[in-house]
Amino acid sequence: MKVARRSFLSLSLGVAAGVTLSPLPWKLMDDISIWTQNWPWTPVPEDGEISYAQSICTLCPGGCGINVRKINNRPVKIEGLKEHPLNKGGLCPLGMSGLQYLYGPSRIQSPLKRVGKRGSGNWKKITWKEALADVSEKLYDLRVSGRPQALACIASTDRGTVPKLIARFLTAYGSPNFIRASTAFDSLEQAIYLTQGQQGTPGIDIENADFILSFGTGILDGWGGASRMCNLYGKHNSTKKIIQIEPRLSDTAVCATEWIGINPGTEAALALGLAHVIIKESLYNKDFVEYVSFGFDDWTDEDGTVHEGFAKLAGSYPPDKVSQITGISKTKIVSLARKFARASKPIALAGRGQGSVPGSIDECLAIHSLNALVGNINRTGGVSVIPGPDYAKWPEVKMDVAASKGMQQPRIDGAGGKQFPNTQFLLNRLPEIINSAKGESPVQALLVADANPLYTLPDTAATKKAFNRIPFIVSFSSYMDETSAMADYILPNHSYLERYQDVPTPAGLARPLIGLAKPVINPVYDTKHVGDSFIQIAKSLGGFIENAFPWDNYEAFLKESLDDQWDELNNKGFIENKYDDLPAPLAYSFNTVSSKFEFYPTLRNNPKNKDVDVLPAFTPVPIEGDFQKFPLVLIPYDSIRLAGNYIANSPFMTKTIDDTVLKQQTVLVEINPITAKKLGLCEKDKAVLITPKGKADVKIHLYEGIMPGVLALPRGLGHTAYSKYLADKGVNVNDLIGPIKDPSSGHDMAWGIRARLTKA
Amino acid sequence: MKEKNNHTKRFGMVIDLDKCTGCGSCMVACYAENNVPFRVDETNKLDSLSWLVVHKITNGKPYPNTEICYLPMPCMQCDGIGKHGHSPCVSVCPAVATDYDHETGIVSQIYTRCFGCRYCMAACPYHARKFNWWDPVWPADMKKYLSPNVSPRMRGVVEKCSFCFHRYQQAKDKAFYEKREELYEDEYQTACAEACPTGAITFGDLNNKNHAVYKLKKDPRAFRLLERLHTNPKVYYLTSKSWVRRAGDNYLANEEPGKIKQEMVHGH
Amino acid sequence: MSQTDQHQPVSTKAMPGANETPAANSTGWIIFLFFMIGFVGSLLAGWILFPELLYSKKNQPIDFNHAIHLDQVDDGCESCHFFREDGTFAGMPGLDSCIDCHEEAQTDNPEEIKFVEEYVTQGIEVPWLNYSKQPDCVFFPHSAHVIGADMSCETCHGDIGNSEHTRVYEQNKLTGYSRDIWGHNIARLGKHKQGEPAPMKMNDCAKCHKKETGHKGACFQCHK
């Protein structure tokens, strides 16, 4: 007992000495420090063999080449393809973040059937067999009921084999209602058709133009293929002149040689004013105007009626009048006209921002007339028409009685009808037509492929109301977007990295270039190529519909369509039609009545036989709202960092958004400090933005780069679906802006809406 | 060791602000290349992890004379006074978690060594360093796209742009395999330089006469940020706008940006 | 107890120079004994028991015979552990390296039969345990060492190529890494035996670098 304490102390001392002299503490310390560096929840990515897979990006219609870096066949990074003629190794943020679409939380991982109320988000996983059987049965019943034309399909494009296959399905089924979203290229296409009689995709040879007069076109805000335009800008920024005309200092305006602020919606007046100066000072291309144009001067028709020519129309837009309309000084108008006309390869561009709104046909014609005045039609550095892709002929669709009866019905959207004979698709009119229909909705079943109309169409509330009247909606989307969320069935498509898809010449490109998107990875989830879904539905519908699809699957269809181009496309990824100059015969082969370029477009619908309805006179677009109640004007703007189309933002893109655009959940509305001061608003103040279409909570961002009296909101925010990384951030401008029908084309021509801003 | 390529490299970047359109590709390329995580709300830019930030600066003039310039800012990889690698962050790090690599001139950041005191963040005059306030989360199956070439960071450490150093490591691997002593200029490029769709970012060895950056840094439009702090950044900017150049440092009204630069160079 | 304790030192002081009583003498010994028990015990625990407890032992999924394979290949280690064209090192070979010969079992060796049945025919990669696996933050360029500095594989990995059986894989329970990284000598004293794998902690790298290149290297040389 006596020694107990001492012995204990001694023992402890011994232990301490022993432990110190043993490796235990030192080794343990080392191990613990390593342990603290290796939290099990911090992932350790698997290493392995690096390989690359080349493909074409189809997240936007730009058609850039991509090079996917893979580790052990697992994609880890998307890079731009150096060999691709458009992006040459560069890539926009959307394409760069592509893998977030492949693995992201908004991917739909198997076919789904709605079980709760529409839009409630309650889904049941079903098998592909069940999904295809259910959809086929519904479509069968609709057809048997004698109304195959009540089936409609919405797609984002009609170019490429996938939409062609879907349209073929609708034809065999008996519905003329294949509808795709419209863009500013549709207006240009129509303007080209009316003046040149040529049909095809507009080619805009920015590559070779040296003076770009852009009426608000966001050439560096995502228009015409973001990477292509950026690449051109980087290469030629010191030699090409860009004149950007718009009320807001956009990123294009930031980079432009000169930015000219203009009263929103008065671009057509400026175009006519410039034409006035060019004609008055005789700066126009006389050869072109004299020999290959029609309707420049007044002319007399067969009945002896004298018609006004373009020169006279332009004559009524002298600089001082135009200055008053546009807010641009007289001297600037005159000097701009001179600079434009004297440039060696000038080009005038119509369509605002990325061109998601088709815009007014008159405006487009007025701007296109400027190109004609300088003779820049079907010429290097000018505007031309690109022929469609050269697909092998498919066997003709044989229609049964039901199908041919259905196909004889007028299109639901009214495109191609009496009122809008020159328009192919009018998606923007669909909600209005459904909502105003008495009794049942004219659309009884809706198939949506690669489109998200519930987000991209103007006036979301009306669109939603219309969709609620459609009894059966099937979405083929890869993602839980707004439209999928409202669907009854979702038959998810492979993501763009998991599927074959041909990519026709990107809109706006002046040289034919077709690409082939190839799967770079086997499907990650239980998805199916949308083409295969349609083929399988056709097969289960049987009869003539089945016969219209003699292919086993989409890949076989694609191979047959691309025919002898398949091998080269599959190996190289793209086929470029190289030529420095447009082939001579194409140059001036106009298919108009006069066989000339028609400044006075006789092809234009002219029921009242009035010159003002044919010539592109400036009539202000009647934007919605009363000036007293809504003293301000709201315009949407586009940004490369925000995907405003049917493909929504990736988390990475949202991460790049400035805090002057989005702060927490609230979007910031851009307002000139002068206007803000009048309203008693300061930076970051909370406010309520009200338009005739709706209202939204916003914050204030004072921006010197916006015209006083004008407000601007970005496109691409305000999603309600997708994942928490995108949903409920900001406001969808389409909630606040409604469509305005162009009386001539039926397209949406709204460039904005009247608005009111009050401090919250 | 066989390698004789020991003459010092100074990898650097020249960013042509006249070409930058502010598209943000460089930022996304950087996130994707370097396993940078993302959060639901990234609007607090002070705690948003981003190794490269494209800042938006303005001349402050009212409509319609407003001008804007986009300024992409990666880590400046400061050489420090006398180019001895005495960069602001390296000199304050108590853990040698950040260090100056004399072979390449790149300022390294070792996450497993960092214990998150954030002295370096306070010391960095360019706000190039970011702190991991949260554990990274890759929702759904997004972990599958993580690259093994860059180690994912854990909560509580500082991270910053590394000039995609792992690409240098990989390029050297290939050079060794091919028994080469030197890398080709295009073999080691940062993800941002490669991604930039306008080609505004040029990357290379500032000491190598054959590299594009060697000539570009001598362009009369060239300047660096906060040059008078003598941090000797290896990121150069080109601009033809005098107001942009003026924004690159805290100049007094009567000071001329170009002249100040000369004094500084002569000072050392 | 406290009384006796207080009393004890006083009583010894009270008898300065006096012969130690047997009791006091034995107390010293006992104290020393206790010290030694503690000392020796903890030494034993630290040197022998601790390493036993720290590491768990695992066998490789297949008892691989390196010697037999080395005899039959032309290119030494690099026949299976090869460099890819981009200069990266492939490390552990996958099934595709084995399948040419081992589509079917060539011998009646139970390990080979197991390999063919459980892995080759089912197309499952063998979950080999990597003795030299470094933490994720480490970038080790094989090409710089093997090609650049002309080092042999044995320098770091030991004479594994002539082994007939796989070694037991010892895994650090705390860190999860192989014992080879720290080295089998728990005290990391002295040089490792010829033919045995070299320890691979950062200090080991630095030591060798210092010796061979004159500088222990910068952080980014081996970190990622």
Interface test with B, best of C150, C220, C221, C222 (most B CBs within 10 A): C220
Pick B88 or C18 by higher pLDDT: B88
Pick B83 or A510 by higher pLDDT: A510
User: Which tokens in the block code for residue C138?
Assistant: 């480490």
pLDDT at B260: 59
Q: Out of 3.10.20.30, 3.40.190.10, 3.30.70.20, 3.40.1370.10, which CATH number does the structure's domain B11-267 have?
A: 3.30.70.20
Burial of A286 (0-12, 13-18, 19+ CB in 10 A): exposed
The residues near C63 (Cβ < 8 Å, ≥ 6 apart) are C111, C165, C166
- Subunits with 3+ C-beta pairs closer than 8 A to B: A, C
Single-letter code of the amino acid located at C208: C
A220 lies in the same domain as A324: yes
Give A7 to chain C, closest Cα distance, Å.
Answer: 5
**Is residue A104 included in any domain, yes or no?**
no
Interval A613-651: pLDDT, tens: 899 999 998 888 888 999 999 999 999 999 988 899 999
A242 lies in the same domain as A343: yes
Of all residues in chain A, the one with the smallest CA distance to B72 is A656
pLDDT at B216 over 60: yes
Secondary structure class of A429 (helix, strand, coil): helix
pLDDT at C3 over 80: no
**Within an 8 Å CB–CB cutoff, is residue C203 touching chain A?**
no
pLDDT at A84 over 80: yes
Q: Per-residue pLDDT averaged across B65-80, rounded?
A: 96
Angle between helices A554-562 and A161-173 (to 10 degrees): 110
Nearest beta carbon to residue C218 from set B3, B102, B172: B102
**Tokens 């450490």 belong to residue:** B157
The residues near A355 (Cβ < 8 Å, ≥ 6 apart) are A183, A184, A185, A217, A218, A223, A224
Burial of A562 (0-12, 13-18, 19+ CB in 10 A): buried
Say yes or no for a CB contact (<8 Å) between B110 and C223: yes
A606 lies in the same domain as A737: no
**Within an 8 Å CB–CB cutoff, is residue B169 touching chain C?**
yes
Taking the CA atoms of residue B238, residue B242, residue B246 and residue B252 in that order, the dihedral angle to the nearest 10 degrees is: 150
Of A382, A373, A375, A383, which is closest to residue A273 (Cα–Cα)?
A: A373
Interval C43-87: pLDDT, tens: 999 999 999 999 999 999 999 999 999 999 999 999 999 999 999
**Tokens 């000169």 belong to residue:** A258
Q: What percent of chain C has pLDDT over 90?
A: 71
Q: Per-residue pLDDT averaged across B125-149, rounded?
A: 96
Single-letter code of the amino acid located at C169: Y
- Residue pair B65/A253 in contact (Cβ under 8 Å)? The answer is no
- Residues in B touching A652 (Cβ below 8 Å): 27-28, 31-32, 38
Radius of gyration of chain B (CA): 19
Interval C128-170: pLDDT, tens: 999 999 999 999 999 999 999 999 999 999 999 999 999 999 9
- Residue pair B257/B249 in contact (Cβ under 8 Å)? The answer is yes
What integer best gives the mean pLDDT of chain C? 87
Q: What angle do CA B40, B45, B48 make, to 5 degrees?
A: 50
- Provide DSSP, A645-673: SSSPPPHHHHHHS-TTTEETTEEEEEE-H
| A-C contacts (CB, under 8 Å) | 108
Q: How confident is the model at residue B3 (pLDDT cuts 50, 70, 90)?
A: very low
**Is residue A502 included in any domain, yes or no?**
no
Of all residues in chain A, the one with the smallest CA distance to B46 is A659
A441 lies in the same domain as A555: yes
A313 lies in the same domain as A176: no
Cis peptide bond N-terminal to A442, omega within 30: no
Of all residues in chain A, the one with the smallest CA distance to C1 is A2
Tell me the domain boundaries of chain C.
Answer: 22-58, 129-222
**Is residue A97 included in any domain, yes or no?**
no
* Cα–Cα distance for residue pair C80/C95, rounded to 1 Å: 11
Nearest beta carbon to residue B64 from set A261, A653, A655: A261
Burial of A735 (0-12, 13-18, 19+ CB in 10 A): buried
pLDDT at A183 over 70: yes
**Within an 8 Å CB–CB cutoff, is residue A7 touching chain C?**
yes
User: Which tokens in the block code for residue A225?
Assistant: 């293929």
Least-confidence region, from A148-152, B36-40, B208-212, B249-253: B249-253
Which ipTM score applies to this complex? 0.95
pLDDT at A3 over 90: no
**Tokens 């980079």 belong to residue:** A255
A168 lies in the same domain as A221: no
DSSP structural state of residue C103: S
Interval A309-360: pLDDT, tens: 999 999 999 999 999 999 999 999 999 999 999 999 999 999 999 999 999 9
Q: What is the CATH number of the domain that holds A166?
A: 3.40.50.740
Q: How confident is the model at residue A524 (pLDDT cuts 50, 70, 90)?
A: very high
Q: Provide the pairing of β-strand A632-637 with A710-714.
A: parallel
Q: How confident is the model at residue A398 (pLDDT cuts 50, 70, 90)?
A: very high
Q: How confident is the model at residue B5 (pLDDT cuts 50, 70, 90)?
A: very low
* Cα–Cα distance for residue pair A729/C146, rounded to 1 Å: 54
pLDDT at B265 over 80: no
Residue A279 structural domain? 201-386+583-614
* Cα–Cα distance for residue pair A512/A159, rounded to 1 Å: 13
Interval A244-301: pLDDT, tens: 999 999 999 999 999 999 999 999 999 999 999 999 999 999 999 999 999 999 999 8
Angle between helices A267-280 and A319-326 (to 10 degrees): 160
Interval A461-508: pLDDT, tens: 999 999 999 999 999 999 999 999 999 999 999 999 999 999 998 888
Say yes or no for a CB contact (<8 Å) between A45 and B140: no
pLDDT at B29 over 70: yes
- Residue pair A582/A511 in contact (Cβ under 8 Å)? The answer is no
A553 lies in the same domain as A651: no
- Residue pair A432/A465 in contact (Cβ under 8 Å)? The answer is no
* Cα–Cα distance for residue pair B35/B46, rounded to 1 Å: 19
pTM of the predicted model as reported, rounded to 2 decimal places: 0.94
Give A106 to chain C, closest Cα distance, Å.
Answer: 30
Say yes or no for a CB contact (<8 Å) between A96 and B29: yes
A331 lies in the same domain as A304: yes
Q: How far is CA A87 from the centre of its chain?
A: 18
Interval A415-436: pLDDT, tens: 999 899 999 999 999 999 999 9
Phi, psi of C168 (to 5 degrees): -70, 135
**Within an 8 Å CB–CB cutoff, is residue B17 touching chain A?**
no
- Residue pair A43/B146 in contact (Cβ under 8 Å)? The answer is yes
Q: Per-residue pLDDT averaged across B84-88, rounded?
A: 87
Of A214, A227, A202, which is closest to residue A82 (Cα–Cα)?
A: A227
Give A368 to chain B, closest Cα distance, Å.
Answer: 27
* Cα–Cα distance for residue pair A364/A192, rounded to 1 Å: 9
A534 lies in the same domain as A607: no
* Cα–Cα distance for residue pair C9/C47, rounded to 1 Å: 37
What integer best gives the mean pLDDT of chain B? 92
Q: Provide the pairing of β-strand B106-109 with B98-101.
A: antiparallel
User: Which tokens in the block code for residue A98?
Assistant: 């592509």
* Cα–Cα distance for residue pair C36/A11, rounded to 1 Å: 7
Nearest beta carbon to residue A32 from set C45, C135, C174: C174
* Cα–Cα distance for residue pair A484/A480, rounded to 1 Å: 5
pLDDT at A621: 87
Say yes or no for a CB contact (<8 Å) between A21 and C46: yes
For C65-80, b/e burial (b = at least 16 CB within 10 A) is bbeeebeeeeeebeeb
Interval A577-622: pLDDT, tens: 765 555 543 456 788 999 999 999 999 888 788 888 899 999 998 8
The residues near A640 (Cβ < 8 Å, ≥ 6 apart) are A92, A93, A94, A220, A221, A222, A226, A251, B21, B22, B23, B24, B25
Burial of A344 (0-12, 13-18, 19+ CB in 10 A): exposed
Domain count, chain A: 4
Q: What angle do CA A316, A318, A321 make, to 5 degrees?
A: 95
Q: How confident is the model at residue A511 (pLDDT cuts 50, 70, 90)?
A: confident
Of A25, C223, C178, which is closest to residue B112 (Cα–Cα)?
A: C223
| B-C contacts (CB, under 8 Å) | 85
Which B residues 161-220 touch A at CB under 8 Å? 191, 194-200
Tell me the domain boundaries of chain B.
Answer: 11-267
Interface test with B, best of A32, A88, A248, A704 (most B CBs within 10 A): A704
- Residues in C touching B179 (Cβ below 8 Å): 147
Of A435, A415, A383, which is closest to residue A189 (Cα–Cα)?
A: A383
Interface test with A, best of C4, C34, C37 (most A CBs within 10 A): C34
pLDDT at A38 over 50: yes
**Tokens 């003293």 belong to residue:** A631
Say yes or no for a CB contact (<8 Å) between C42 and A5: no
- Taking phi over 0 as left and psi of -120 to 50 as alpha, with beta for the rest, A304 belongs to left
**Within an 8 Å CB–CB cutoff, is residue C10 touching chain A?**
no
* Cα–Cα distance for residue pair A486/A464, rounded to 1 Å: 9
pLDDT at C12 over 50: no
- Considering Cα of A486, then A492, then A493, then A498, what sign does the dihedral take? positive
Say yes or no for a CB contact (<8 Å) between A22 and C175: no
3-state helix, strand, coil in chain B (%, to 5): 25, 15, 55
Q: For residue A547, what are the CA distances in angstroms to A169, A236, A552, B133, B186?
A: 11, 53, 12, 61, 54
Interface test with C, best of A9, A28, A34 (most C CBs within 10 A): A34
The residues near A305 (Cβ < 8 Å, ≥ 6 apart) are none
CB atoms within 10 A of CB A297: 15
- Residues in C touching A8 (Cβ below 8 Å): 34
Q: For residue A48, what are the CA distances in angstroms to A277, B81, C84, C88?
A: 66, 41, 10, 9
Interface test with C, best of A12, A26, A27 (most C CBs within 10 A): A27
pLDDT at C17 over 70: no
Which A residues 29-68 touch C at CB under 8 Å? 30-32, 34-35, 37-38, 44-45, 49-50
Beta bridge partners of A502: A516
**Tokens 């780069």 belong to residue:** A705
A555 lies in the same domain as A432: yes
Q: How far is CA A149 from the centre of its chain?
A: 27
User: Which tokens in the block code for residue A689?
Assistant: 């933005």
- Return the half-sphere exposure (C-beta side, CA atoms, 13 A cut-off) of residue A203: 28
- Subunits with 3+ C-beta pairs closer than 8 A to C: A, B
Of all residues in chain C, the one with the smallest CA distance to A51 is C86
pLDDT at A2: 60
The residues near A124 (Cβ < 8 Å, ≥ 6 apart) are A112, A113, A114, A115
Q: What is the CATH number of the domain that holds A355?
A: 3.40.228.10
- Residues in C touching A1 (Cβ below 8 Å): 1, 4
**Within an 8 Å CB–CB cutoff, is residue B132 touching chain C?**
no
- Residue pair B189/B203 in contact (Cβ under 8 Å)? The answer is yes
**Is residue A67 included in any domain, yes or no?**
no
Say yes or no for a CB contact (<8 Å) between C1 and A1: yes
- Residues in C touching A28 (Cβ below 8 Å): 174
A701 lies in the same domain as A746: yes
Give A22 to chain C, closest Cα distance, Å.
Answer: 5
- Residues in C touching A15 (Cβ below 8 Å): 38-39, 41-42
Secondary structure class of A746 (helix, strand, coil): coil
Q: How far is CA A389 from the centre of its chain?
A: 20
pLDDT at B21: 97
- Considering Cα of C115, then C117, then C119, then C121, what sign does the dihedral take? positive
